[in-house]
Amino acid sequence: MSSGSVVMKTHRRLFPNLPEVRRLGLATRGNTHLPAKAILHAYERGIRYWNWCGYEDGMSRAVGELGTDRGKVILATQIQSSGRDSLLSEVESFLDLLRTDRIDIATIYYLETREEWTRLREPGGVLETLNELQVEGTIGKIGITSHRRRLAAEIAERGETDLLMIRYNAAHRGAETEVFPIASENQIPVVAYTCLRWGALIESQDSGNSDHRVPTAAECYRFVLSNPAVSVALMAPNNRQELEENLTLLDDWRPLTGERLQAMREWGDWVHDHAGSFP
């Protein structure tokens, strides 16, 4: 991968009926401390793909404050219900909290087994209900969130999902061969999460190799976004300071290439092997 052959695109249009957005997105986790003011600051910096955690927080309040600008944001959230009635109740509560009339992208969270996918697709089940909500306009697109790359790839290859939300970072690169080619071939957008490996990639650790330099969070997102198969990479800063550090990527937008790309892969390999279990 060389700087002469790689262009890291700034924006991506995931679907024809949704706004084009920057490829760096923003997520909340339920335990982050980003007030609505910080979320709206990210909006002003051009961060328009928002992945909401499903709990009242700064992002939910910011959505309600967007007013006529709501249509400039792609609002995504994860569905945890396992049945029709609970799903309808979950979606209704989301709309109330967000003070909006629609969710642009809803992904099934977490989909980890084929048996679970079969159950969700049963008549009158979650997927059928999501499809009904999609027809009425309450939900725009339906995706899956999964750690199981091969399962996600199979579902994408069969055309059974609009979008994939997949773990991808310098320490977990299996999606490069198991997911990205199939998603690209089938024109299915990929949203990458856990880009920092829950912070392990940016923690100072004695690897025994003096050549290892701990990357910044912005560099970790740069690594993810350097892969053109990734439509959006989600950042999930804990606070305003971390948000500002992440946003420095916007001022130095370029792909990782050459020696720095190789160094990031080597650091990722070390973190994968030595930084403890991954949740």
Residue by residue, what is the 3-state secondary structure of 211-251?
CCCCCCHHHHHHHHHCCCCCCEEEECCCCHHHHHHHHHHHH
153-169: pLDDT as tens digits: 999 999 999 999 999 99
Which residue from 203, 210, 212, 207 is spatially nearest to 262, judged by alpha carbons?
212
Amino acid 211: pLDDT: 63
Q: Answer whether residue 123 is part of any domain.
A: yes
> Is the per-residue pLDDT at 3 higher than 50?
no
pLDDT higher than threshold 70 for residue 225: yes
In a domain? residue 278:
no
Q: What is the CATH number of the domain that holds 144?
A: 3.20.20.100
What DSSP string runs through 135-162? HHTSEEEEEEEES-HHHHHHHHHTT--S
3-state secondary structure of 35: coil
The average pLDDT across 78-102 equals: 97
- pLDDT attached to residue 2: 41
Is 4 among the domain residues? no
Q: Which region among 54-63, 87-96, 211-220 has the lowest average model confidence (pLDDT)?
A: 211-220
Task: Enter the pTM of the model.
Answer: 0.94
Full domain range(s) for residue 65: 11-273
Q: Are 44 and 67 in contact (CB under 8 A)?
A: no
The amino acid sitting at 136 is: E
Lowest mean pLDDT among 28-32, 37-41, 97-101: 28-32
Residue 29 lies in a domain: yes
Report yes or no on 1 lying in a domain. no
Label residue 5 by pLDDT band (50, 70, 90): low
Q: How many domains does the chain have?
A: 1
Residue 123 vs residue 278, higher pLDDT = 123
What percent of the chain is predicted at pLDDT more than 70?
A: 93
Q: Is residue 2 part of a domain?
A: no
**Does some domain include residue 3?**
no
Residues 96-150: pLDDT tens digits? Answer: 999 999 999 999 999 999 999 999 999 999 999 999 999 999 999 999 999 999 9
Q: Does residue 78 form part of some domain?
A: yes
